[in-house]
Chain A
Amino acid sequence: MSLKSNLTFGRGLKDGVPIALGYLSVSFAFGMSAASKGFPFWSPCLISLTNFTGTGQFVGVDLIAAKAGLFELAFTLLIINLRYLLMSLSLSQRLAPNVGLGKRLLIAFGNTDEIFAVAMQQEGLLPFRYMGGLIISSFSGWVFGTAIGAGASNLMPAAICSALGIAVYAMFIAIIVPPARKHQPVLRIVLIAITLSSVFFFVPPFHSLSSGWSIIICGAIASAYGAYFYPLRDDDNLSGESEEGGEQNDN
């Protein structure tokens, strides 16, 4: 079977650029926070090179600095990372059939929230070369930002650091709004997930739930609702691209 899609390696590299830019700020903050907690320069760099995850790294460094045991470290991070089970399962359904086990092992390392989200936006099956490009440019931004943050922690003005905190969330917004605008079921799923997640965050009895659990529970309930009431056919796709003709025909 030939896979003549436009999802080339170069396209992957290019699609990874906004992720890398978003990562620069987050990983910069990570490197900075590790350095300020007394970690030697190489340590946050090695963590970014081997982990490649946002929340988990921040929490991990906090726990290590607080002299937590290895079991506590492993257990807490495992809970935070549980969402990757669902994401990887979802991604496994979109990889081209010729992506073998070895390549899957590599792709798995790069299945971050952002890479996953951008990959799932594409139409059709995902070839290895596209995933490779996407992961390489994103990963470079992640490691590079960490090194700068850990090395020169006070170069960036505080105001810019604060503002950059929103960059990754803004990117997520850019990912979910177009399909939510176009597909009623996606809009409902998004609204349900937001409502649940706000309840979990603000209502006291749920507040003790860690954010890792909260995300996976809210996301799963909302998607199960969508799958039950609006099952998709095989050829349905959820991209947010406007129909041919663009904006005018769309409303």
Chain B
Amino acid sequence: MTTEALLVATAVMALVTYLPRVLPLAIFRRKIQNPFLRSFLLYMPYGILAAMIFPAVFFSTNSWISASFGVLISLVLAWFRRGLLTVAIGGTFAVLIAEWILTLI
């Protein structure tokens, strides 16, 4: 890989990442009035995030067993409205513990 090729590839990547982020923000300056479209856009984060988490989360660690344990603990903490950081750390520790137990078996 030459330096020049890497720089060009990086620029291409940056461009196709920035374009979809910037176009709607630059173009849609006014509030959308259509109730369906408005509701769609307000619901959208939850639909997208849910689809991003499942089932990918079960493959985010060394084994689906430890990942499932992490998901369980995260769900419980989130149910009781713990903050983002608490849930993230809790989930991570749950995986660590599960993987440690798995090595003992």
Contacts and interface: CB of A to CB of B under 8 A. Distances in A.
Interface string B24-46: 11111101100111111111111
Interface residues of B, number: 81
Contacts of B22: 88, 104-105, 108-109
A169 B85 contact: no
Interface stretch (A3-11, A141-149, A184-192): A184-192
Interface in B46-105: 46-57, 60-62, 66-67, 70-71, 74-75, 77-93, 95-96, 99-100
A151 interface: no
Nearest to B96: A163
B21 A88 contact: yes
A70 B74 CA distance: 40
Contacts of B54: 194, 197-198
A82 B20 contact: yes
A167 B91 contact: yes
Contacts of A46: 7, 10
B99 to A, nearest CB: 6
Q: Chain B interface secondary structure, helix, strand, loop or mixed?
A: helix
Kindly name the residue among B15, B81, B84, B89 whose own CB sees the greatest number of chain A CB atoms within 10 A.
B84
A70 B16 CA distance: 11
A222 B50 contact: yes
Nearest to A232: B39
B42 A166 contact: no
B13 to A, nearest CB: 5
A116 B28 contact: no
Contacts of A220: 44, 47
Contacts of A180: 46
Contact of A215 (B6, B48, B57, B88): B48
A108 B25 CA distance: 7
Kindly name the residue among B23, B43, B71 whose own CB sees the greatest number of chain A CB atoms within 10 A.
B43
Given A51-B10, A185-B43, A232-B35, 14 more contacts: A22-B88, A43-B6, A52-B17, A60-B9, A88-B23, A91-B25, A93-B41, A159-B100, A160-B96, A162-B61, A194-B53, A196-B51, A230-B39, A240-B81
19 contacts: A21-B85, A46-B7, A51-B17, A92-B28, A104-B22, A111-B25, A159-B100, A162-B61, A165-B61, A167-B89, A174-B83, A174-B87, A175-B84, A176-B49, A197-B50, A198-B54, A226-B39, A231-B35, A232-B42
For the complex of A and B, the 7 pairs showing the least CB-CB separation, nearest first, are A170-B91, A219-B48, A177-B78, A174-B87, A227-B39, A18-B85, A108-B22
